[in-house]
Amino acid sequence: MYLEYCRATFADIRSKSKIIYDPCDVTHDSNIYNIDYIPRQETDEEELSSRSLFNNLLSSELNLRKLQHHVTLEERRQRLMEILHVETKILIISQAICRGEEGKEAALMLIMQAIPCIMHFENCVGEKLITILLAMRSDIF
C-alpha cells in the first residue's frame, strides 16, 4: 500500500528524507528540520529565512513522497505528519521482523547450550537433597 501511495520504496524515501518526526524531542518546536517546528511571527531577516527554509523543506518532502504540496503550510504539515507516522510504524515493524529472523537462529543455540546447564542443575539439586537427608539422618541418631 505504501508503494502504491508514494510510488517509491520505503528505503529510498528514508535515505533521501531530511525531516525529523520525533514527538518526544525536547527541541521539536525550535528545530527547523522537525515536523513540529513552529515559525515565529517576527519579521527579522533570520526568522524570514528560517520560515522560508521550513516551507521549502515541507514542499520537498511532500514532493519526495509524490503528495500534493500546493496548499497552506498547516495542511502540508498535517499531510506529512500522517505519512511520517505511518513510516515510523513501518520502520518499527521491519526492525521487529529482522530481530525475529535473527532471534530464531540465536534461540536454537541458547536452547542447545541450556541442556547441559539444566542437567548440571538437576545433579546439583540431587546432591543437595542427598546431603540434607544424610544430615537429617545423622541428627536423629
The 10s digit of each residue's pLDDT in 88-104 is 888 888 887 777 766 66
Mean pLDDT across 25-53? 76
Q: Is the pLDDT of residue 132 over 70?
A: yes
C-alpha cell at 33: 528540520
Three-state DSSP class for residue 20 = strand
pLDDT digits (tens, 9 = 90+) for 64-87: 887 777 788 888 888 888 888 888
User: What percent of the chain has a predicted confidence (pLDDT) above 90?
Assistant: 0
Between CA 12 and CA 3 the distance in angstroms is: 11
Between CA 126 and CA 138 the distance in angstroms is: 18
